[in-house]
């Protein structure tokens, strides 16, 4: 293969690399938009649930179980998610020479400290967004939460953001417990929360039939 053929081959490879890079950037932007759309949808559902419970508190009685009700507090942060994130971060750290048990012990300690830090931020008036100077009114996520995404991954990043949004709704509505599906052991969906209303509406229709 002469020099001209070699150069032609290199040029072809460079073009393919550039094409792949453009596609990667386009896919990342598309994924980012979809993630933003999902976040907006989830926040609309969250806002709707808190609004319903504010108007109809009888749909959301406390369980009076201290352990369970703690999970129902808006802004609650599950320590297990922090422990998983800290352990994963430790396992990805090439500079760490700790054995598995020591990594786990360190992850538990780091998780407790990290959780306390984010509890203080969420309950202390920390704001998730800032307006980037020079870009108008476009809201940008603060560097602190972006650092979580980069270092600890999406699960912890999304958990902290959800807790922040929940606490904002608690402040707006005064709702102190999230609606709960006791059989499934999780937060109620909006559909589940509204199920009792269907029966109430039917009863009202029977009592007040259209003339």
Question: How far is 165 from 145, CA to CA, in rounded Å?
Answer: 13
Q: What is the pLDDT of residue 86?
A: 95
Tens digit of each residue's pLDDT (9 = 90 or more) over 114-136: 999 999 999 999 999 988 776 56
Domain ranges of the chain: 3-195
Computed over every residue of the chain, the mean pLDDT equals: 84
pLDDT at 204 over 60: no
Angle at 185 between CA 181 and CA 188, to 5 degrees: 30
Question: How far is 167 from 122, CA to CA, in rounded Å?
Answer: 7
Residue 22 — pLDDT band, cuts 50, 70, 90? confident
Q: Is 67 exposed, middle or buried (0-12, 13-18, 19+ CB in 10 A)?
A: exposed
pLDDT at 103 over 80: yes
Is the whole model's pTM more than 0.85, yes or no?
no
Question: How far is 168 from 74, CA to CA, in rounded Å?
Answer: 9
Please count the CA atoms within 13 angstroms of the CA of 194 that sit on its side-chain side. Answer: 9
């Amino acid at each position: 293969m002469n020099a001209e053929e070699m150069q032609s081959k290199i040029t072809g490879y460079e073009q393919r690399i550039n094409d792949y890079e453009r596609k990667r950037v386009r896919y990342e932007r598309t994924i980012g938009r979809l993630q933003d759309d999902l976040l907006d949808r989830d926040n609309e559902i969250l806002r709707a649930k808190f609004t319903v419970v504010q108007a109809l508190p009888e749909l959301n009685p406390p369980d009076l179980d201290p352990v369970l009700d703690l999970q129902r507090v808006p802004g609650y942060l599950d320590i297990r998610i922090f422990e998983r994130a800290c352990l994963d971060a430790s396992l990805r750290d090439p500079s760490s020479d700790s054995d598995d048990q020591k990594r786990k012990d360190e992850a538990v300690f780091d998780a407790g400290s990290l959780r306390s830090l984010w509890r203080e931020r969420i309950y202390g008036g920390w704001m998730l967004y800032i307006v980037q100077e020079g870009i108008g009114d476009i809201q940008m996520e603060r560097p602190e939460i972006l650092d979580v995404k980069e270092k600890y991954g999406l699960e912890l990043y999304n958990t902290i953001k959800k807790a922040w949004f929940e606490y904002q709704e608690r402040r707006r509505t005064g709702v102190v417990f999230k609606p709960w599906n006791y059989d499934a052991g999780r937060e109620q969906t909006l559909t589940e929360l509204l199920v009792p209303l269907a029966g109430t509406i039917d009863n009202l229709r029977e009592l007040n039939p259209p003339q």
